[in-house]
């Protein structure tokens, strides 16, 4: 009774073309050495470096501005001294874009975590839709690698990683079929100005588009420069049924410069498509590409132009920042302007291939990190929150794509942390049935279902209690209601007082049969709150029980009230295990 309650590098492919006289009509063809150029040294970025990718540093690509400057430094060496200023301004601009993304009213990202917390999995059965927990843009949003101090090493892969980020985390924050408005900012310092714009969109069919555009203006120390570069990609970030991830890409740059009597510029357009192949372990194996490079440069002494296509397959993908193996037989349709030298071809062509493939690879590596961590597929298994000791429970296991909820036939590995068994250890392929046998004593266990295939990796963890679920009822002045799934974990119940007050109760066990309780309630200008202890007396068969509570508290009505002490009891009755799913 309650009283109160409640082998051949990309740089070599064009050298081979020169040696084989594939540049018919190009001036200076025979004056150029066909010696293989030394391989560039790039800092490799291993897949493990992507583990915290959504929390890495947005402000430190420091590379796109320097990327543009280094394209022109052979003609205007003075540009090299502006690299650090340009990179510093760029980083500040990106930091402000980051901060804008954090402001209220800006679309928020959604995480691609592999699993739903066990309690949520139990209560919802995991909604069979493309849903993820929302989170705001972290204090840092993009990748800062060991290569950040060396912009040339990080420019291509870094840009690919950022484009992947925009195509997933940011595009997920907007409804399908819509485009998010550009996120832009700019900064200037001592005659150097840098502006950046990020664009991202998601089509209704799941296709994502992301782009980074940067403008740079320099006017100081006798140098005048104007540059604009845009990098964009388009594709579905998830592997299809054949383990293929396809993308289209485009890189364009327009620069003009003058330094004293010297002047010139550069225009490049790199376009193409790539297809990554994913194996049954959800890892990238090869990337096929088909690209076109159109680059022109206005040097102070002559004009240069190259235009060619190249196809190939990248199989050395253990790291991002490395030179590329591109057989010369994959180069076709090579054309060059009448003033173009062999050195022009090697430089312009090599850089074009390098730039393109690094961005492609960085983008694909970002996506790999996503599809290996629950972004593309989900495992569904309606694990009951509570089962009877010694019982056997059949659990239907399916794997579905998150984009449209389609069931896929993929293997699922089943593991048990606890007692007694979960069989079979592998369902190949799903859908299938797993059986959990609970121990005879009261305890809990964690069931893990993990699917790994060319479609990606999805994981579900859920906790099941070998014991009873109970329904609360009864009470004289306060009628209790609700479900208790585990007497060893905190549980919440509702109370309806005969005085018209509704109460919220929280029970915190320190053993299966006792613990602390607190409650509060209010109505009509009156408030009541109390805390105390509770004990549970169970029947021999464990199917029913009585909860006795003792509390002290305060009550107040219209500014008048006082302290009280009291208690009460209510009944627990065994409920079906389905009540806790």
Q: What is the 3-state secondary structure (H, E, C) of 320-363?
A: CCCCCCCCHHHEEEEEECCCCCHHHHHHHHHHHHHHHHHHHHHH
H-state helical runs in 116-249: 118-124, 151-165
Which residues, 6 or more positions from 105, have their beta carbon under 8 angstroms from its beta carbon?
A: none
- Determine if the peptide bond prior to 431 is cis (ω within 30°): yes
487-496 core/surface letters (b: 16 or more CB in 10 A; e: else): bbeebebbbb
How buried is residue 311: exposed, middle or buried, by Cβ count under 10 Å (0-12/13-18/19+)? middle
Higher per-residue pLDDT: 442 or 279: 279
Nearest by Cα to 494 from 508, 480, 483: 480
Q: Residue 123 — φ and ψ, nearest 5°?
A: -80, -30
Which residues, 6 or more positions from 349, have their beta carbon under 8 angstroms from its beta carbon?
A: 13, 14, 293, 295, 306, 308
25 DSSP assignment: T
Contact 422, 434 (CB under 8 A): yes
Rounded to an integer, the average pLDDT of 87-91 is: 86
408 has a pLDDT exceeding 90: yes
Which residues, 6 or more positions from 197, have their beta carbon under 8 angstroms from its beta carbon?
A: 182, 183, 184, 211, 212, 213, 214
Separation CA 524–CA 38 (nearest Å): 84
Q: What's the residue count for the chain?
A: 581
Q: Which of 78-92, 256-270, 319-333 has the lowest mean pLDDT?
A: 319-333
Higher per-residue pLDDT: 527 or 126: 527
Which residues, 6 or more positions from 486, have their beta carbon under 8 angstroms from its beta carbon?
A: 385, 386, 444, 465, 467
Separation CA 531–CA 367 (nearest Å): 51
Tens of pLDDT along 218-256?
999 999 999 999 989 999 999 999 999 999 999 899 999
Rounded to an integer, the average pLDDT of 296-323 is: 74
99 has a pLDDT exceeding 80: no
The pTM for the full model equals 0.66
Query: No. of H helices and E strands in the chain?
Result: 6, 29
Q: What ranges make up the beta strands (E) of 35-177?
A: 109-110, 134-135
When pLDDT is cut at 50, 70 and 90, the band that residue 13 belongs to is very low
Domains with residue ranges and CATH for the chain:
26-273+283-371 (no CATH), 377-463 (2.60.40.2410), 469-580 (2.40.128)
Place of tokens 């739903």: 116
Rounded to an integer, the average pLDDT of 263-271 is: 91
When pLDDT is cut at 50, 70 and 90, the band that residue 546 belongs to is very high
Q: Are strands 223-235 and 478-484 parallel, antiparallel or unpaired?
A: unpaired
Place of tokens 């109370």: 495
Separation CA 131–CA 140 (nearest Å): 23
Q: Specify the pLDDT at position 498.
A: 86
Classify 288 as helix, strand or coil: strand
Rounded to an integer, the average pLDDT of 186-192 is: 92
105 has a pLDDT exceeding 70: no
Contact 547, 356 (CB under 8 A): no
Nearest by Cα to 97 from 158, 160, 166, 149: 166
Q: Are strands 456-466 and 386-387 parallel, antiparallel or unpaired?
A: parallel
CA end-to-end distance (rounded Å), the chain: 32
H-state helical runs in 230-341: none
% the chain with pLDDT above 70 = 73
Place of tokens 């209601």: 481
When pLDDT is cut at 50, 70 and 90, the band that residue 72 belongs to is confident
């Amino acid at each position: 009774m309650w009283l109160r309650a409640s082998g051949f590098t990309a740089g070599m492919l064009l050298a081979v073309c020169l040696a084989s006289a594939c540049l018919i009509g190009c001036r200076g063809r025979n004056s150029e050495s066909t010696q293989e150029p030394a391989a560039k040294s790039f800092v490799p970025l291993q897949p493990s470096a992507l583990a915290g990718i959504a929390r890495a540093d947005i402000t430190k690509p420091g590379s796109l501005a320097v990327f543009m400057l280094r394209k022109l430094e052979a003609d205007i060496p003075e540009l090299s001294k502006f690299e650090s200023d340009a990179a510093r301004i760029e980083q500040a601009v990106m930091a402000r874009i980051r901060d804008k993304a954090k402001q209220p009213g800006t679309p928020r990202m959604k995480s691609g975590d592999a699993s739903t917390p066990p309690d949520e999995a139990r209560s919802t059965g995991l909604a069979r839709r493309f849903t993820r927990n929302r989170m705001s843009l972290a204090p840092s949003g993009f990748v800062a690698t060991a290569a950040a101090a060396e912009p040339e090493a990080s420019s291509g892969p870094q840009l690919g990683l950022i484009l992947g980020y925009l195509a997933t985390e940011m595009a997920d924050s907007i409804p399908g079929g819509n485009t998010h408005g550009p996120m832009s900012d700019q900064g200037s310092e001592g005659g150097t100005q840098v502006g950046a714009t990020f664009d991202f969109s998601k089509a209704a069919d799941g296709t994502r588009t992301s782009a980074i555009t940067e403008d740079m203006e320099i006017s100081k120390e006798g140098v005048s420069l104007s540059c604009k570069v845009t990098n964009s990609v388009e594709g579905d970030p998830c592997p299809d049924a054949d383990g293929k991830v396809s993308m289209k890409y485009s890189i364009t740059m327009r620069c003009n410069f003058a330094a004293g009597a010297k002047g010139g510029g550069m225009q490049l357009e790199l376009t193409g498509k790539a297809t990554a192949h994913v194996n049954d372990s959800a890892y990238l194996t090869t990337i096929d590409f088909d690209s076109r490079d159109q680059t022109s440069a206005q040097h102070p002494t002559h004009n240069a132009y190259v235009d060619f296509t190249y196809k190939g397959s990248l199989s050395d993908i253990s790291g991002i920042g490395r030179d590329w193996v591109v057989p010369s037989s994959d180069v076709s349709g090579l054309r060059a302007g009448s003033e173009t030298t062999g050195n022009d071809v090697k430089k312009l062509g090599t850089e074009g291939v390098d730039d393109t493939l690094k961005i492609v690879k960085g983008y694909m590596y970002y996506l790999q990190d996503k599809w290996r961590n629950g972004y593309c597929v989900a495992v569904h298994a309606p694990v009951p929150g509570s089962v009877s000791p010694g019982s056997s429970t059949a659990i239907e296991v399916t794997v579905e794509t998150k984009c449209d909820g389609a069931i896929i036939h993929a293997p699922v590995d089943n593991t048990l942390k606890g007692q007694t068994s979960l069989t079979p250890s592998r369902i190949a392929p799903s859908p299938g049935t797993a059986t959990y046998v609970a121990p005879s004593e009261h305890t809990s266990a964690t069931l893990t279902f993990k699917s790994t295939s060319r479609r990606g990796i999805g994981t579900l963890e859920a906790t099941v209690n070998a014991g009873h679920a109970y329904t609360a009822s009864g009470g004289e002045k306060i009628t209790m209601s609700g479900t208790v799934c585990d007497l060893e974990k905190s549980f919440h119940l509702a109370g309806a007082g005969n005085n018209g007050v509704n109460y919220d109760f929280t029970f915190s066990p320190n053993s299966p049969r006792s613990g602390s309780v607190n409650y509060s309630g209010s109505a009509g200008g009156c408030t009541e709150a109390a805390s105390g202890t509770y004990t549970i007396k169970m029947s021999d068969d464990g199917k029913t029980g009585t909860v006795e509570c003792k509390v002290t508290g305060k009550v107040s009505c219209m500014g008048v009230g006082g302290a009280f002490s009291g208690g009460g009891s209510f009944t627990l009755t065994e409920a079906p295990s389905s009540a806790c799913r």
